[in-house]
Amino acid sequence: MEETWFCEACGETHDGVPFTLKIRCPSSWTDGAAVHPESELLDAHCVIGGERFFLHGFVLIPVTDAERDFEWGIWVEVDEKDFLLRCARWSARGRERDAPVPGRLAVTLPGYGGSTLGIPGLLQDREVGLRPVFTLTDAGHPLAREQRLGITMARVIDLARASH
Ligand SMILES: [Zn+2]
């Protein structure tokens, strides 16, 4: 679907609505964290100071007037043991049938009127090649409501604007 939309942030008209918006790193990945010898930021894994552990995943939100989900590319903080387990299962066939691991959202998403840092949820692996999916367990949060009820294309465009 090629749609154009005007972006107040740039003052330009953009082509195409982005159905995936990604946050590059956990909020805790600061310049200070990055220089620590036991810190590492990879595509799908992040460790800070050898003691905080993060996995990359997606929050999927149904779009009620489109044929596909909207995806927030996010980071989730998990326990060391769960981090090591998911890493060990990285290329294991059937990993999508493993139990989900508990975690907390480790990024602030624009468009929710406040911080989304620390919202609890469950991270579920998918088939090898796909990043895991994070489902919020704090049902009252606006992001959890969107995940449950879906959003419209107008909201997808609002989120794109908020991310510029
Ligand atoms: Zn823009």
Contact 97, 113 (CB under 8 A): no
Q: What pLDDT is stored for residue 53 in this prediction? A: 98
Tell how far the Cα of 8 is from the centroid of ligand 1, in angstroms: 7
Q: Say whether pLDDT at 107 is over 60.
A: yes
Domain boundaries, the chain: 4-162
Mean pLDDT across 23-44: 95
Residues around ligand 1, an ion, CB closer than 5 A: 7, 9-10, 164
What is the band of 113 on the pLDDT scale with cuts at 50, 70, 90?
confident
What is the band of 7 on the pLDDT scale with cuts at 50, 70, 90?
confident
Query: What is the tens place of the pLDDT at every residue in 47-97?
Result: 999 999 999 999 999 999 999 999 999 999 999 999 999 999 999 999 999
Instruction: Name the H helices within 12-152.
Output: 31-35, 80-88, 142-149
Mean pLDDT across 37-56: 97
Tell how far the Cα of 32 is from the centroid of ligand 1, in angstroms: 30
Q: What is the pTM of this model?
A: 0.93
Tell how far the Cα of 14 is from the centroid of ligand 1, in angstroms: 7
Q: Return all residues near 31 (Cβ < 8 A) that are at least 6 apart.
A: none
Q: Say whether pLDDT at 11 is over 90.
A: no
Q: Say whether pLDDT at 1 is over 70.
A: no
Tell how far the Cα of 143 is from the centroid of ligand 1, in angstroms: 23
Tell how far the Cα of 13 is from the centroid of ligand 1, in angstroms: 7
Query: What radius of gyration do the chain's Cα atoms show?
Result: 17
